[in-house]
Amino acid sequence: MLNLKFIQDNPELVVEKLKRRNFDAEKVVESITELYRKKNKLQGQADQAKSEMNRISKEIGILFREGKKEEANAAKERTSELKDNIKQFDQQFTEIERMVTDLLVQLPNLPHDSVPLGKGEEDNEVVTSAGEIPQLTENALPHWELAQKYNLIDFELGVKITGAGFPVYRGKGAQLQRALINFFLNENRNAGYEEIQPPLVVNEDSGFGTGQLPDKEGQMYHVTADNLYLIPTAEVPVTNIYRDVILDAKDLPLKNTAYSSCFRREAGSYGKDVRGLNRLHQFDKVEIVQVAHPEKSYDILNEMVNHVAGLLKKMELPYRIVRLCGGDLGFTSSLTYDFEVWSAAQQKWLEVSSVSNFESFQANRLKLRFRDEGSKKPQPAHTLNGSALALPRIVAALLENNQTDEGIKIPKVLVPYTGFDLIDSVSK
């Protein structure tokens, strides 16, 4: 959530910066500033009423002692009238605060100055590419056919048990999943991240704190009886560890990593781009989260980008890093780098990670603050997160890119985790 005072002090700047997102904020910003002009006017009237009530309250005792009973009773009636007025002011303040909050949650985060202009993914900027694109034979198979050939993933069984988008991993397919999770977690821990095992469901406050609610409510699975939500990413419960917390600056940055299943309705997704593992309703992901000092958050963003790149290099996957344009930027992000790996059989890039700096946007919603040494007033921290990594498309690329006539080769870095270096027969 944007800082209210910043909007009041810089309404034109807010409107102009949000144009980079192709978001017209003019009416919302005007409404917010008008409501606070009204509140400030009411505040003056309320302060005047309180001052008068305090003055009269002091006079009442004096009037009674002087025997001026009639004047004292009149003064008491006036204080009662002022109390009613003050109560009405408070009710108006509450209503204005509610209206302002309803408007504030409509505004996305301000994009960083480096965010490219553009309307969609076709306008994203490729920052770097690395790795060698594999050249496959003409009879190369896409990952969904490889999964069937070697009995690694059963998509139809998932449909039977639950529905489309809920695959069943089995045999070496399940072992590969577990190997990737352990590899990612170990690498993240070695980079200084504390491992967290979070809940897979969260309450409304948690969903609001990280910006999933109300913006992405339709994309989340809702447990209506308990008013809880299945998490779309471990970012939500992990970042909410720090909700309503004041940290010491000396403890920053705080670094957490977590593995979780993720649940996304993906409403409206259909067609060839959702085949196999390309788009699922349930999938596994390892997340990294940092809470940082505002002065250091962009250095930390670069550190996180380099860490994710290191994971892909170790798995020998060709990848590219893409800076998202304003039109493709997530609601809560100031700057996002997407990682895409090359899918050799599908002949296209697949997104496997987004690494983002939210600046103080989430922190304002979470009331996550820190205090510099010697400072009495706390200020919002910056939050960052990234996938390190999401498994489905990593698995898709590993299967497709490493297929040979002998079978599917496992990257050397994963062999200690899988216990095998080749998938060459039906998995059991």
178 is in an annotated binding site: no
303 is in an annotated binding site: no
How many other CB atoms are found less than 10 A from the CB of residue 284? 20
Give dist(CA 180, CA 289) in Å, integer.
19
**Furthest C-alpha separation in the chain:** 109
Specify whether the CB–CB gap between 253 and 291 falls below 8 A: yes
3-state DSSP assignment of residue 171: coil
235 is in an annotated binding site: yes
Closest CA relative to residue 188, chosen from 229, 120, 234: 234
Reading the block at residue 289, the tokens are: 């989260």
Give dist(CA 257, CA 192) in Å, integer.
9
Backbone dihedral region for residue 370 (phi beyond 0: left; psi -120 to 50: alpha; all else: beta): beta
151 is in an annotated binding site: no
Spatial neighbors of 134 by CB under 8 A, at least 6 apart, are 318, 342, 344, 401, 402
265 is in an annotated binding site: yes
381 is in an annotated binding site: no
Backbone angles phi, psi at 291, to 5 degrees: -110, 120
For residue 282, the surrounding DSSP H or E stretch is strand 282-292
12 is in an annotated binding site: no
DSSP string, 250-271: GGPPEEEEEEEEEE---TT--S
Closest CA relative to residue 411, chosen from 419, 403, 402: 402
Give dist(CA 282, CA 142) in Å, integer.
21
37 is in an annotated binding site: no
101 is in an annotated binding site: no
Positions at the binding site for L-serine: 233-235, 264, 287, 385, 387
Positions at the binding site: 233-235, 264-266, 287, 351-354, 385, 387
Positions at the binding site for ATP: 264-266, 351-354
